[in-house]
Amino acid sequence: MINESHTHPLSYDEGRAARGISGSPREATMDKLASYLLTLALTLTLVGCTQNDETEPGPSGGGGTGGEGGSAIECSDQDSFDPGDCPTSYPDSDCVVYVDAETEASGEGSSWQDAFRTVQEGIDLAHCASLNAGTCEQWQVWVRAGSYFIQQGCRTHSVRLRANTEVYGGFAGTETTLEDRDWESHETILDGRDGPESENHVYHVVHGATDARLDGFTVSGGRADQENHPNHSDGGGMVNLAASPAVHHCTFRDNTAALRGGGMNNLATASPTVVGCKFIDNHAGENGGGMANTAGSSPVITDCLFEENTAVEYGGGI
């Protein structure tokens, strides 16, 4: 953790130990942390979190990127979602949309038997329903366990969260209530590659949104490796640009950034709540191997583990 010269206090839970906190000042201990100041005009609240990270060089690419995605496809940085394209009818499914990567073809998302194949299809329909259906303010997307490969020929592909939409992983595919799921036993992976043996990666696996929730996923394989590109140098796992989602029970693993925030990058007043998450083996070329918080961002981080993350300059964990 790096602390510099701005007057924004750090709070933490004295009842929980933190180990291996690294960065500057090196002599920081838990009884001194409350008096240190955080960097870049941000407010960071840590409650019951654990760190075991290093501020030292790690693998600059963290794995292959397949050139520019290994494809000649022209890809746009812009979100293609258009509310005008929303359907006029929605599933009669108690405000739940279903996703299953193993289904042979995308259905209408109304049940496990009629599920969508991709997470983005589920999110977009749920968001449309929240705008137009009038039955629920918050729609849920239930995602069956498995690997969901995001790249698919385009490095700018990403899972884009949307307002009024809660996305839950960790389902076996038989559940009828949210309480039935077990995200620890049924790992649900948002994988930034285009296949299990691929070296082609997206820049960012997830883009956050305010009034959205991501819960019960492993986020891996993001490669924000374009150091001189304004949009693709930070936040390999997740980018929250002026966005404040809830992120619960997620693992950010093996994501890299050329500059900041290998696992997650929060910027431009982003204030996500991050609860019960793990940041493991992520890397940044400058700072914030696990997470970077800049430009007025103020995340609240509770009961999280930061382990084996690296940064070249400072802030191996955060």
Residues 6+ apart with CB under 8 A from 76: 156
For residue 17, what pLDDT band results from cuts at 50, 70 and 90?
very low
Amino acid symbol at 281? D
Domain presence at residue 13: no
For residue 49, what pLDDT band results from cuts at 50, 70 and 90?
low
**Percentage of residues in the chain having pLDDT higher than 90:** 63
* Average of per-residue pLDDT values in the chain: 81
SS (H, E, C) the chain: CCCCCCCCECECCCCCCCCCCCCCCCCCCHHHHCCCECCCCCCCEEECCEEEEECCCCCCCCCCCHHHHCCCCCCCCCCCCCHHHCCCCCCCCCCEEEECCCCCCCCCCCCCCCCECCHHHHHHHHHHHHHHCCCCCCEEEEEECEEEECCCCCCCCCEECCCCEEEEEEECCCCCCHHHCCCCCCCEEEECECCCCCCCECCCCEECCCCEEEECCEEECCEECCCCCCCCCCCCCEEEECCCCEEECCEEECCEECCECCCEEEECCCCCEEECCEEECCEECCECCCEEECCCCCCEEECCEEEEEEECCECCCC
Domain presence at residue 7: no
Stretch 8-21: mean pLDDT: 35
pTM: 0.80
Instruction: Check whether 37 has a pLDDT greater than 60.
Output: no
Stretch 76-92: mean pLDDT: 82
Domain presence at residue 81: yes
Instruction: Check whether 19 has a pLDDT greater than 80.
Output: no
Domain presence at residue 135: yes
Taking CA atoms, 85 is separated from 13, 128, 131, 132, 301, in Å, by 47, 9, 12, 12, 36
- If one counts the domains in the chain, the total is 1
Domain presence at residue 20: no
Higher pLDDT, 186 or 88: 186
Domain presence at residue 317: no
Q: Are 309 and 62 in contact (CB under 8 A)?
A: no
Per residue in 223-240, pLDDT tens? Answer: 999 888 767 899 999 999
Domain hosting 180: range is 26-311
- Which of 12-16, 41-45, 194-198 is predicted least confidently? 12-16
Instruction: Check whether 116 has a pLDDT greater than 50.
Output: yes
Domain presence at residue 214: yes
Per residue in 239-288, pLDDT tens? Answer: 999 999 999 999 999 999 999 999 999 999 999 999 999 999 999 999 99
Domain presence at residue 3: no
Q: What pLDDT is stored for residue 4 in this prediction? A: 34
Stretch 60-71: mean pLDDT: 30
For residue 36, what pLDDT band results from cuts at 50, 70 and 90?
very low
Instruction: Check whether 317 has a pLDDT greater than 70.
Output: yes
Instruction: Check whether 97 has a pLDDT greater than 90.
Output: yes
